[in-house]
Structure 1
Amino acid sequence: MPSSLSGRTVLVTGATTGIGYETARRLTERGAVVLMHGRTAEEARAAADRLIATADAEERRLCTLAADFSRLDEVELLARRVTLEHPHLDVLVNNAAVAAPERHTVTADGNELAFQVNFLAHYLLTNLLHEALTSEPGGRVVNVSSSLHRTASIQWNDPHRIRRYSRLAAYAQSQLALTVFASDPRVTAVSIHPGICDTALLPLYGLEGSAAAEGAAHIVRLCDPATEIVNGAYYDRDQRVAPAATASEERTVKRLNKLADLLVGNHA
Structure 2
Amino acid sequence: MTSASLSGRTVLVTGATSGIGYETARQLAERGATVLVHGRTAEEAQAAADRLIATAGIDTASLCAYAGDFTRLDEVEALAHRVIKAHPHLDVLVNNAAIAAPERHTVTADGNEVAFQVNFLAHYLLTCLLEPALTSDPGGRVVNVSSSLHRTANIQWSDPNRARRYSRLAAYAQSQLALTVFAADPRVTAVSLHPGVCETSLRPLYAHEGDSAAKGAAHVVRLCDPATEIVNGAYYDRDERVAPAPAATENRSVQRLNKLASLLVGHTA
Whether the TM-score (by the shorter chain) exceeds 0.5 is: yes
Q: Do the aligned partners of 1:190 and 1:233 also contact (CA within 8 Å) in 2? A: yes
Question: Residue 78 of structure 2 aligns to which amino acid in structure 1?
Answer: L
Q: Spell out, residue by residue over 1:49-104, the C-alpha distance to the aligned partner (whole angstroms, 9 max, x if none).
A: 11001113100010000000000000000000000000000000000000000000
Q: Give the deviation of 1:136 after TM superposition.
A: 3.8
Residue 179 (structure 1) aligns with: 180
- In structure 2, the partner of 1:37 is 38
Q: Please name the residue that 2:134 is paired with.
A: 133
Residues 1-268 of structure 1: pairs in structure 2 closer than 5 A: 3-134=4-135, 136-266=137-267
Question: What's the RMSD between the two structures over aligned residues?
Answer: 1.3
Q: Could you tell me which amino acid in structure 1 is paired with residue 97 of structure 2?
A: A
8 Å contact kept, 1:73–1:267: no
Q: Is the 8 A contact 1:91 1:139 kept in 2?
A: yes
Between stretches 169-178 and 126-135, larger displacement belongs to: 126-135
Q: Which amino acid aligns with 2:80?
A: A
C-alpha separation between the residues in 1 aligned to 2:56 and 2:161? 41
Distance 2:3 2:178 in 1: 37
Whether contact under 8 Å (1:3, 1:31) holds in the other structure is no
| 3-state SS of paired residue (2:94) | strand
Contact 1:39 1:66 in 2 (8 A): yes
Partner Cα distance (2:141, 2:27) in 1: 18
Rounded to whole Å, the distance in 1 between the matches of 2:136 and 2:173 is 33
Cα separation, 1, equivalents of 2:211 and 2:267: 40
Aligned mates of 1:36, 1:214 — CA distance in 2 = 19
1: distance between equivalents of 2:221 and 2:141?
12
Question: Secondary structure, in 3 states, of the residue corresponding to 2:132?
Answer: helix
Matched position secondary structure for 1:132: coil
- Matched residue SS, 1:173: helix
CA distance in 2, matches of 1:219, 1:233: 13
Give, in angstroms, the shift of residue 5 of structure 1: 1.2
1:186-225 CA-to-partner distances (Å, cap 9, x unmatched) read 0100000000001000111132111000000000000000
Q: Which amino acid aligns with 1:88?
A: H
Distance 1:55 1:137 in 2: 30
Aligned length: 268
Instruction: Report runs of 4+ in structure 1 exceeding 4 Å deviation.
Output: none
Do the aligned partners of 1:112 and 1:160 also contact (CA within 8 Å) in 2?
A: yes
Deviates further, 137-146 or 115-124? 137-146
Q: In the TM superposition, what whole-angstrom CA distance separates every residue of 1:12-51 from its partner, at most 9, and x where no partner exists? A: 0000000000000000000000000000000001101110
Normalised to the residue count of structure 1, the TM-score between the two structures is: 0.98
- Confirm or deny: 8 A CA contact 1:70 1:108 kept in the other structure: yes
Unmatched segments (≥5 aa) in structure 1 = none
TM-score by length of 2: 0.97
